[in-house]
Each structure stands twice: as C-alpha cells, then as structure tokens.
C-alpha cells in the first residue's frame, strides 16, 4: 500500500476518534458545548419579529447605523435575560427576528426586548410658595432636569450618561429592591448640579415617559444613585434595560409564534425512529446487493454520521425538524454517491480489469456525476438559505444549512473514505464475487 494511503488512513482514524469523543455522550460537555443546539420546533420557545419605526431615528444617523445599534442592544438584553443560544437577526431594512429557544416566560421577554427604556430625570416646577406646581388633578407637573455640561452647554439628564453597571440591591432594614446606578464623568457633573438645586424636593425618574419613582433629594449626589418603588421583577428588568441602553427607535411586534416543548420532544422521538428504520433498511440493501462494497459503504456511512454529528454539536448548528430531515436526505445522497462508484467499479470488473484498477477507474469515472449532482444541490441550498433569511422562514434556513453541510461532508466520505477503504479491501480480499460480479 502506498505511503500516502497509510498517512491518509491514520488521519481518518484520528479524525474519527476525535469526533467520536466529541459526540459521545451526546449531552456531554465538550469545549463548552453541551448537547446539540435545538431550534424552536424541537425545543419550544418563542419566535418574534419586530418592526422598527426608523422614521423616528436621529436624523444624523443612517438606517443601517440605527438598526445595528438596536440589534446589539436587543442582544445584550436577551443574553442578560438568560436565554440560551438566542438567534437575533436583521431582516430586510427595518425588521428584526428574535428566536428564544426554551424560553417559557414569553410575556416578560417581550416586555424586556421591545421596550425603548429611555430613562429621563425630571424636576418640579416651583410655585410662588416654592412648592411643586400641580395640575387640575392634583398631580405634580414635571419638566426635564437640565444642567450645564463640561462643554458649557445645557443638557438634559438622561440614561445616556449611565455606566453599564446598574444592579439590583436590597435596601438595608426593609430589604426592598432598588436599582443602583452610576454616572459617567459627564453625568456626574449634571447630576451634582441638579441634586444641589433640588435639595428636599422630589426628583422624578421616568422610564419611557412613565413615572417609576420620585425620591426626595436629601443630599447633593454626584456619582451614583438608586431607583426605588419597584418590585424585584421590575428591578431586574430595569437593570438589564439600563445596562443595554435605550433603543434608538420604537419597536412593535408584527409576528409572534410560540412552540410547545412537548411537541418538540415528540418530533425528536419520531424522527429518531424514522431515521433508524431508514438507516437499517439502507444498510441491509447495500450489504445484500453490493456485498463487500456494501460493508465498505456502511463503514464510510458510520464515519460520516459521527463527523456530521460532531460538526452539528461544535459549530453549533441549530437543528430544526426540517434540519433533521435534511440530515436524513444528506445520508441518502452519501449512499447514492457510493452506489455510483460501485456500479462504475462493477462495469470495470466485467470489462476484465483487476480489482485495484477497477477501484481507481470506478472512482475516476463516477466523480464527474457526483460533482455535478452535488453542485446543483449546493445551488439549491444557497437559494433556499437566501429565501429563508430574507423572508424570515427559519425552517427553510435550517433545512438549507443542514443539507449544505451534510452534502459537503458526503463528498469527502465518498471520494476519500470509501476510496481508501476499498483500496485496502482489494489488497486483502481478492474474491471478485464479493464485489458484485461473477468470479
């Protein structure tokens, strides 16, 4: 056997053992990846599509700049909310897709993601007696709190001057939740002036034009402060929103879908059973019809399956039900490539070639057909992926991506693994009948 084949065999064995170690057990933790990443239709969760009102953006910013900023802020909010493996993508000009696999508290997630979270500090308007001016309903009339910045310009005190380190703390003595925050240098300058002139007066803290709390200023404060009057859930959500920053434009939900996790579990079970039955039937056919070549194809298929699963686990590829179907299709295409090779090889054997020459000629002549069929599949996958990405059809995207990876790997196993195993086999087993032709 050629030295190059020996080195190739060693490489394949090492690759197979490494992938097997990554895959087994399937739910094991390898390099920070635990188990397969399942999509919404298998794991359950929420599928949300938001539309941004870009007409309300800052005129100095382009639509692309605003959308990129909104995407990053939503991603920070979702990650802080604790959703594992979220998918957040821009669709078209002003739409954002948010997938939250495994998330059960959908309503809380929607409030957290879509809220603008514009934090504004407001002060009272004193009347002739120095008391806060009130409207007809007896409610305090507020005005935006302003101060002079380091550049000499008058500025409103908003959440844009906050450091991204807001956190929930418990008030000593009462254990009431509070949101503690810190200002950056500019914010500290503004806050110091505002608290100085509002001593013993209420200072209103508004979130998206809604009054959150109105604590009375007891001392001049510069670097930090707290927001009171919220329960624990509200405090946690507020801290996340403040740390992510306010959204640049308002969002509204235009599509919402929820998937029950029990449906996903049933889908996985049925898919595994169907895949196992199909795989057994394929292996039986290959072994009975192609004999030794069928055994080689089965070994190559085993190596293919282990490597493919390792790729899905480590990339990670988000598997959907359609993705599993694409994986099964790619297995069929891997077998199909082997059938083309074996039939070509049988033709060469019938023409009187030796086993070694028949293997080489079979692979060489089958390669063009394998290449062309796979290239057309790649083109279809690219078109489907573009369609799914453009129109938000995540099922189509999952199918296209999984099929593309599977077919790419099937080319490797058919041309490299199967060829090497057959080359070794014909050196050891010389019986032509075992390769599908009369001795």
- Report pTM: 0.62
Domain identity same for 286 and 415: yes
53 plus 177 within the same structural domain: no
Q: Which of 168, 157, 158 is nearest to 240 (CA)?
A: 168
Q: Give residue 265's pLDDT band: very low, low, confident or very high (50, 70, 90).
A: low
Q: What is the mean pLDDT of the chain?
A: 83
Q: Where are the alpha helices (DSSP H) in 292-320?
A: 292-314
Q: What is the pLDDT of residue 17?
A: 92
Q: Are residues 417 and 271 in the same domain?
A: yes
CA-closest candidate to residue 95, choices 77, 70, 76: 70
Whichever domain contains 69, its CATH number is: 3.30.70.3400
Mean pLDDT, residues 395-423: 86
- Of residues 322 and 53, more confidently modeled: 53
Q: pLDDT band for 378, please (50, 70, 90 cuts).
A: very high
Q: Assign 263 a pLDDT band (cuts: 50, 70, 90).
A: low
Residue 200, CB-side half-sphere exposure with 13 Å CA sphere: 2
pLDDT score at 88: 83
The predicted model gives 299-309 an average pLDDT of 89
Q: What whole-number distance in Å separates Cα of residue 23 and Cα of residue 343?
A: 33
Backbone angles phi, psi at 320, to 5 degrees: -110, 175
Q: What is the pLDDT of residue 190?
A: 93
Distances (CA, A) of 342 to 292, 297, 348, 376: 10, 9, 10, 22
Pair (173, 320) in one structural domain:
no
**Is 102 in the same domain as 148?**
no
CATH number at residue 212: 3.30.1360.200
Higher pLDDT: 61 or 417? It is: 417
The model's pLDDT over 175-215, given as tens digits with 9 standing for 90+, comes to 889 889 899 999 999 999 999 998 888 888 888 788 888 88
Mark whether 298 and 414 lie in a shared domain.
yes
DSSP of 184-214: -HHHHHHHHHHHHHTTTSBEEEEETTEEEE-
pLDDT tens string 85-123: 677 888 888 888 888 877 767 777 777 787 777 788 999
The boundaries of the domain holding residue 81 are: 45-116+251-258
Assign residue 420 the CATH number of its domain.
Answer: 1.20.1640.10
**308 lies in the same domain as 410:** yes
Q: Please tell me the least confidently modeled range out of 156-160, 226-230, 349-353, 421-425.
A: 226-230
3-state secondary structure of 89: strand
In this prediction, residue 94 carries a pLDDT of 87
More confident residue, 257 or 412: 412
Task: Verify that 293 and 366 share a domain, yes or no.
Answer: yes
Which of 225, 258, 291 finishes a domain? 258
Q: Are residues 7 and 152 both part of a single domain?
A: no
Q: Which of 210, 244, 278 is the last residue of a domain?
A: 244
Please tell me whether residues 187 and 234 are part of one structural domain: yes
DSSP 8-state secondary structure symbol assigned to residue 136 = T
Strand ranges for 328-433 from DSSP E:
none
What is the count of structural domains for the chain? 3
Q: Is residue 279 domain-shared with residue 399, that is, in the same domain?
A: yes
Same domain, yes or no, for 22 and 154?
no
Residue 232 tokens read as 């624990």
Of the three residues 244, 271, 288, the one that is the final residue of a domain is: 244
In this prediction, residue 192 carries a pLDDT of 93
């Amino acid at each position: 056997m050629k030295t190059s084949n020996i080195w190739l065999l060693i490489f394949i064995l090492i690759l197979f053992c490494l992938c097997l170690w990554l895959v087994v057990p399937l739910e094991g933790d390898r390099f920070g990846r635990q188990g397969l990443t399942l999509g919404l239709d298998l794991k359950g969760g929420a599928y949300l599509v938001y539309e941004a009102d870009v007409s309300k953006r800052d005129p100095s910013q382009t639509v692309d700049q605003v959308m990129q900023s909104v995407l990053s802020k939503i991603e920070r909010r979702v990650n802080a909310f604790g959703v594992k493996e979220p998918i957040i993508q821009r669709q078209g000009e002003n739409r954002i897709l948010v997938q939250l696999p495994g998330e059960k508290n959908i309503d809380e997630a929607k409030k957290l993601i879509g809220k603008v979270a514009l934090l504004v500090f407001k002060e009272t308007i004193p009347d002739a007696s120095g008391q806060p001016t009130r409207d007809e309903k007896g409610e305090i009339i507020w005005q935006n709190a302003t101060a002079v910045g380091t550049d000499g310009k008058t500025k409103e005190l908003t959440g844009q001057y906050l450091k991204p380190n807001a956190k929930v703390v418990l008030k000593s003595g009462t254990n009431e939740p509070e949101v503690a925050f810190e200002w950056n240098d500019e914010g500290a300058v503004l806050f110091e002036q505002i608290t100085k002139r509002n001593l013993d007066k209420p200072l209103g803290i508004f979130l998206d034009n809604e009054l959150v709390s109105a604590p009375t200023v007891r001392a001049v404060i510069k670097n930090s402060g707290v927001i009171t009057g919220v329960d624990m859930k509200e405090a946690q959500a507020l801290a996340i929103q403040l740390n992510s920053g306010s959204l640049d434009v308002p969002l509204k939900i235009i599509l919402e879908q929820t998937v029950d996790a029990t449906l996903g579990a049933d889908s996985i079970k049925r898919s595994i059973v169907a895949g196992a039955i199909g795989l057994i039937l394929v292996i039986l056919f290959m072994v009975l019809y192609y004999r030794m070549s069928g055994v080689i194809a089965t070994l190559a298929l085993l190596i293919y399956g282990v490597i493919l699963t390792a790729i899905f686990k480590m990339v990670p590829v988000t598997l959907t039900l359609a993705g599993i179907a694409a994986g099964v299709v790619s297995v069929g295409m891997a077998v199909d490539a082997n059938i083309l090779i074996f039939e070509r090889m049988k033709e060469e054997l019938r023409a009187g070639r030796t086993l070694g020459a028949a293997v080489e000629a079979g692979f060489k002549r089958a390669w063009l057909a394998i290449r062309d069929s796979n290239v057309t599949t790649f083109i279809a996958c690219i078109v489907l992926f573009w369609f799914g990405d453009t129109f938000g059809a995540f099922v189509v995207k999952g199918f296209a991506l999984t099929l593309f990876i599977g077919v790419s790997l099937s080319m490797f196993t058919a041309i490299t693994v199967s060829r090497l195993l057959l080359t070794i086999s014909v050196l050891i087993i010389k019986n032509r009948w075992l390769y599908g032709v009369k001795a």
